[in-house]
Amino acid sequence: NAVDIICALDSVGVVTRVNKAFENRLGYSRQNVIDTSISDYLVKDDRAAFENFLGLVRTEQQMSHHTEKDMLTIDGDTRHMEWSAKWDPEQQSYFCIIYDITQRKELEQAKQQFVSMVSHDLRSPLTSIRVSLGMFLNGVFGDLGEKATSRLQTMDSSVDRLIRLINDLLDSEKLDAGQMDLL
């Protein structure tokens, strides 16, 4: 009755046991999955990396290992999955729990797109305002009174602060996505 997929694989990655969740999540009949390679259900780009993952799990038996690999549904759709696997030397089997993280991944991607769009839509007009304020403060449009200059400097500081906040937000998203080079 588990919501997550639970399966056992032999030493070469052939499915020996699987719960009903495999059928519920991916659409394949449990009877048809038994005695097939788990790689058959992974997207092609993840297959070699998954074999390497199983090798790591087997050599470091004392702990459970985690990875994210995409699986294909019977309809050809892709599901993002998080794998937790452990090797049992006595039974010569891998025991895996597979969590469907598709919704979380889609939400993360939507958030990244939203932040990118909003920051671009805010940064462009703020940059334009900043340039105009700079022109006023540098006397391009004539001399301003002390009170007007003081107000414009306050506005310029506020625009700078907003631009820095937007840049910090973008940097934070890059860090979260692993796209920022820290060197």
pLDDT score for 55: 93
Q: What pLDDT score was predicted for residue 67?
A: 95
pLDDT of residue 5: 96
Report strand pairing: 5-9 vs 15-18. antiparallel
Residue 56's closest CA among 83, 35, 21? 83
Element (H, E) at 27: none
Ranges of residues in the chain with a pLDDT under 70 are 61-62, 177, 179-183
Query: Rounded to whole angstroms, how far apart are CA atoms 180 and 44?
Result: 28
Q: What is the DSSP string of 127-160?
A: HHHHHHHHHHHTTTT----HHHHHHHHHHHHHHH
Single-letter residue type at 28: Y
Sign of the CA dihedral running 44, 45, 46, 51: positive
Separation CA 50–CA 108 (nearest Å): 23
- Is 0.75 topped by the overall pTM? no
So what's the pLDDT on residue 180? 65
182: number of Cβ within 10 Å: 4
Query: How do residues 58-109 score in pLDDT, each as one tens digit?
Result: 988 667 799 999 999 999 999 999 999 999 999 999 999 999 999 999 998 8
